[in-house]
Amino acid sequence: MKNQHQSQDWDLIIKGHTSLFDIKFKDLWHYRDLLFLFVKRDFVSFYKQTILGPLWFFIQPIFTTIVFSLVFGKLAGISTDGLPQFLFYLSGITAWNYFADCLTKTSTVFKDNANIFGKVYFPRLIIPLSIVVSNLVRFGVQLLLFFGVMVYFSLNGAAFEMTYAVFFFPVLILMMALLGLGAGLIITAITTKYKDLSFLITFGVQLLMYGTTVIYPLSAAPESFKKYIELNPMTGIIEAFRYAFLGKGEFTVWSIGYSAVFTLVVLFLGIIIFNKTEKNFVDTI
Amino acid sequence: MKPVIQVEHLSKAYQIGQFGTGTISRDLERFWMTKVLGKADPFLKIGETNDRTRKGNSDIVWSLKDINFEINQGEAVGIIGKNGAGKSTLLKLLSRVTGPTTGEIKVKGRIASLLEVGTGFHPELTGRENIYLNGAILGMRKKEITRKLDEIIDFSGVERYIDTPVKRYSSGMYVRLAFAVAAHLESEILIVDEVLAVGDAEFQKKCLGKMGDISKGQGRTVLFVSHNMAAVQSLCSKGIVLENGSISYNGAVEGAVAYYLKASNDNAHRVWPHQDGPQTDFLRLLEVKVLDVHNEIALNHLISNEVRIEFTYEITKEGALFTHGLNLFNNHNIHIFSSHDKDSETLLKPSVKGIYTRTIRIPGNLLADGGYTCSFAIMRYEPFQVELHEMEIVGFTIIDELDSTDIRGKYTGRIPGVVRPLLEWQ
């Protein structure tokens, strides 16, 4: 009797201890429809019962850009590398927002979904992935705004040019998404036990923006700070983004290679830690 | 018959008490001991049972301990036990919401769990959109849902409002829709936890019928957790009784229900043999019993039978004027009634040392089915003062059998309400 059972092929074996690398990609693929339904839910719930609806996607970057132009451009007089201020800030904000949204939203996945995770099993990674995709759509819409502004400035004779680096643009998007995702996964996993980190993240991301070349070009940074700013993997990505579309910025194989390696390491760690945490987090939250 | 679920040496430990201070150092120590040195986890003490009434030495509690069982294809198995016996933990492990501490579960086929219907429903989305979202959360592919959409909408009975956001639904409609999605999952194994506690009687009957179809007609396996013994008995062929995290009975459902009802009798009797009972300056409680119509200690009482609660106490000081009182609470902590012993002789004649007994009779056909706890009070009237009020002193369960006809007549569904008096219609 016993032997017969052992030879039977089970579809699923639930065990306490599994290998660190036991990530269920097959499950993830099976639940791909759920990912897109979550994305749809995010959008529908976002603009149902709002008057301006999808216009909100534009309002936030436009107003931030205006404020930055006034404060950092006019009052502080920080260089924009010879680019029109509005275009300079908008490019930085658009790219930074995508990364920052992926990071902050992913970093609260366990907390925000404790209720649903406590009742039903589905691969938990679906939620962070759906966040990245939702934000990608948002980013796409904001990119249209950026392109519109580019066309406007170029018609008015502003001095900038697109470069060959535009071909790397898809890679840049992927890097921003995965870096935000990876860091968010690490943070959400740790916050299930140590809640302190969730306080840090909200203003931490804001502070990190000042350590990235969003409101100033890398070339304008003082030499003594420059090496620290370059250590920030988002710096390479934003500089490359500006170089691709506006022709100004420090784009080298080294800077982008460093960001890519950093991204992959963070992503790898993030997935492993998240995967380890998801099994039992329901007991601790 | 082939087993579709095989559970081997399954245990689950929970950490109780505070998380927070010291967890980092403790986690590091645990990591060092288990992962680097390969020793046993220093914070898990094996050998303690999960008994809430006894305080353990460690802050680890074994919610399940070394559980072994097999379930064959097409069986409907009822899982019964008191609150805290480990039922929910077992379901959570089976539905992969959380992982076991040790041991393993082997499963053949897809498991769908209805731990709570409507998980992931979004109020802003329409009924139709929520069917897709909820179905996908439960593991269905989009095309599967599309194929079953009409059937689901039909079963839910809310087709008129299917394109209305569910936030405009009544709670009954909400539950109907949610159950409809879950009931149409194409899974070989279905886990159901207390869903029958919601919805109106007609829909409950529909759900019970659907679950019967699932297990009997379609050859699917059903695990059913409920406090409703009547529902367990009518749906299931086998029963597993959990007690303090271990299996104490595994067999035919009739035996399991009988075992469970008998085993939980200790709630109905409290005795303090060492003069350590609750006391005032003139009185000390010795014993409290819940008695049935034959004056025997019993936890479970048929809904039509009288329940007697007998208090025995010792007067330790002479000359007091006092009386007795009782508060009754149901399982949801709703205060059902408060009763003062207003005609007691103890109010007129100053107390004399000795041992006394007083009994309160709660008539049959008054309380609804379910669990109850009562408190006991000693009061003085002039001036009014509560001398003693002991909460949760004893408990009992009122059982309603589906074939009892006193109140039900021919109706076999759920009857809502906190009391269920037999009333006259003219």
| B128 contacts: CB under 8 Å, gap ≥ 6 | B149, B153, B162, B163
Q: What is the mean pLDDT of residues B351-377?
A: 90
Which residues 321-350 of B have a C-beta within 8 angstroms of A? none
Amino acid at B187: S
- How many other C-beta atoms are found inside a 10 Å radius of the C-beta of residue B229? 24
Helix (H) or strand (E) run with residue B30 in it:
helix B23-31
Q: Which of B43-47, B236-240, B354-358 has the least mean pLDDT?
A: B43-47
- Residue B309 tokens, joined: 């609660």
Alpha helices, DSSP H, located in B75-186: 87-94, 127-137, 142-156, 171-183
Residue B421 lies in a domain: no
What percent of chain B stands above pLDDT 90? Answer: 24
Residue B62 lies in a domain: yes
**A284 closest CB neighbour out of B19, B109, B138:** B19
Query: B262, B285, B300 — which closes off a domain?
Result: B262
Per-residue confidence (pLDDT) for residue B290, from 0 to 100: 93
A17 vs B375 pLDDT, higher one: B375
**A118 closest CB neighbour out of B2, B97, B122:** B97
Q: What is the mean pLDDT of residues B9-18?
A: 78
On whether both B347 and B378 belong to a single domain, the answer is yes
On whether both B101 and B166 belong to a single domain, the answer is yes
Q: Which residue of A10, A29, A42 to mutate against B (max B Cβ within 10 Å)?
A: A10
Among chain B residues, the shortest Cα distance to A113 is held by B120
CATH number at residue B283: 2.70.50.60
Query: Is the Cβ–Cβ distance between A239 and A213 less than 8 Å?
Result: yes
Q: How many domains does chain A have?
A: 1
Per-residue confidence (pLDDT) for residue B47, from 0 to 100: 46
On whether both B295 and B257 belong to a single domain, the answer is no
**B93 closest CB neighbour out of A12, A14, A117:** A14
Confidence of residue B52 (pLDDT cuts 50, 70, 90): very low
Tell me how many residue pairs between chain A and chain B have CB atoms under 8 A apart: 112
On whether both B219 and B98 belong to a single domain, the answer is yes
On whether both B251 and B323 belong to a single domain, the answer is no
3-state secondary structure of B345: helix
Residue A135 lies in a domain: yes
Residue B426 lies in a domain: no
Residue B336 lies in a domain: yes
On whether both B80 and B184 belong to a single domain, the answer is yes
- As a whole number of angstroms, the distance between CA B320 and CA B314 comes to 13
On whether both B199 and B287 belong to a single domain, the answer is no
Helix (H) or strand (E) run with residue B225 in it:
strand B221-225
On whether both B192 and B277 belong to a single domain, the answer is no
Residue B132 lies in a domain: yes
The domain containing residue B383 runs over which residues? 272-399
Per-residue confidence (pLDDT) for residue B34, from 0 to 100: 63
The domain containing residue A177 runs over which residues? 23-284
Query: Is the Cβ–Cβ distance between A238 and A95 less than 8 Å?
Result: yes
Per-residue confidence (pLDDT) for residue B299, from 0 to 100: 85
With an 8 Å Cβ cutoff, are B27 and A193 in contact? yes
Amino acid at B365: N
Instruction: Report residues of chain A scoring pLDDT below 70.
Output: 1-8, 17, 20, 285
* Chain B residues with beta carbon closer than 8 angstroms to that of A11: 107-110
With an 8 Å Cβ cutoff, are A122 and B139 in contact? yes
On whether both B239 and B313 belong to a single domain, the answer is no
Per-residue confidence (pLDDT) for residue B20, from 0 to 100: 46
Query: B242, B262, B282 — which closes off a domain?
Result: B262
Per-residue confidence (pLDDT) for residue B119, from 0 to 100: 74
On whether both B38 and B156 belong to a single domain, the answer is yes
Residue B38 lies in a domain: yes
Among chain A residues, the shortest Cα distance to B3 is held by A5
- Closest alpha carbon to B283 in B274, B275, B291: B275
* Angle formed at CA B228 by CA B223 and CA B229, multiple of 5 degrees: 85
With an 8 Å Cβ cutoff, are B136 and A8 in contact? no
Query: Minimal Cα–Cα distance from A217 to chain B, Å?
Result: 40
With an 8 Å Cβ cutoff, are B107 and A13 in contact? yes
On whether both B74 and B168 belong to a single domain, the answer is yes
CATH number at residue B90: 3.40.50.300
Residue B416 lies in a domain: no
Query: B236, B262, B288 — which closes off a domain?
Result: B262
Among chain B residues, the shortest Cα distance to A36 is held by B133
Q: How many domains does chain B have?
A: 2
Per-residue confidence (pLDDT) for residue B340, from 0 to 100: 93
On whether both B294 and B225 belong to a single domain, the answer is no
Q: What is the mean pLDDT of residues B387-404?
A: 81
Q: Which of B78-92, B151-165, B393-407 has the least mean pLDDT?
A: B393-407
Per-residue confidence (pLDDT) for residue A1, from 0 to 100: 40
Residue A3 lies in a domain: no
